[in-house]
């Protein structure tokens, strides 16, 4: 009886794990329009960054820059797998805990069947 209680407590602990961690992460992105206006915007980490943004002064299409260099489409792919990986990791740890819980219950029942068979 007491062993099954311990198993339940283990399960509820895992549900309280990290939430809202990604919200605090920010990245500054630089844009420069053909007329030389440059500005910086803050984006949440993990979102797909636009390569082009409308210039706030002349409405022209400003292009994304990083360290003074024009950014092409390749850089955005780096961010995508990170959030995906987090989701997979989260799902897996939940599954592992469920497996662990079941293992405990099975071994408990087995021990009970082998050992003292008390009503
Ligand atoms: Zn401009």
Q: What is the pLDDT of residues 37-89, one digit of tens each?
A: 999 999 988 888 899 999 989 999 999 998 888 988 654 455 555 566 676 67
How sure is the predictor about 102, in pLDDT bands with cuts at 50, 70 and 90? Answer: very high
pLDDT score recorded for residue 19: 55
Do 42 and 25 touch, CB atoms closer than 8 A? no
Averaged pLDDT of the chain: 77
Residue in the structure block whose two tokens are 């989260």: 90
Residue 58 CA to ligand 1 centre (angstroms): 4
Residue 110 CA to ligand 1 centre (angstroms): 74
Residue 35 CA to ligand 1 centre (angstroms): 5
Residue 12 CA to ligand 1 centre (angstroms): 54
Give the residue from 102, 96, 101 showing the smallest Cα distance to 17: 96
Biggest distance spanned by C-alpha atoms of the chain: 86
pLDDT score recorded for residue 30: 94
pLDDT score recorded for residue 67: 85
User: HSE (CB half, 13 Å, CA atoms) of 92?
Assistant: 6
Residue in the structure block whose two tokens are 């915007």: 41
pLDDT score recorded for residue 4: 52
Mean of pLDDT values over 99-114: 90
Residue 69 CA to ligand 1 centre (angstroms): 17
Task: Domains for the chain: give ranges and CATH numbers.
Answer: 2-114 (2.20.28.270)
Residue 54 CA to ligand 1 centre (angstroms): 8
pLDDT score recorded for residue 43: 92
Inform me whether the pLDDT recorded for 16 exceeds 80: no
Using CA atoms, how far apart are residues 34 and 37, in angstroms rounded to an integer?
7
């Amino acid at each position: 009886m007491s062993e099954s209680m311990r198993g339940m407590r283990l399960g509820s602990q895992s549900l309280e794990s990290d939430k809202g961690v990604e919200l605090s992460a920010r990245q500054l992105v630089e844009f420069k329009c053909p007329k030389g206006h440059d500005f910086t915007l803050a984006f949440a980490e993990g979102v797909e960054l636009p390569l082009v943004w409308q210039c706030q002064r002349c409405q022209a299409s400003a292009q994304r820059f990083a360290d003074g260099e024009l950014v092409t489409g390749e850089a955005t792919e780096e961010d995508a797998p990170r959030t995906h990986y987090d989701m997979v990791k989260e799902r897996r740890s939940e599954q592992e805990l469920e497996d662990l819980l079941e293992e405990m219950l099975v071994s408990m029942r087995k021990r009970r069947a082998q050992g003292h068979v008390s009503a």
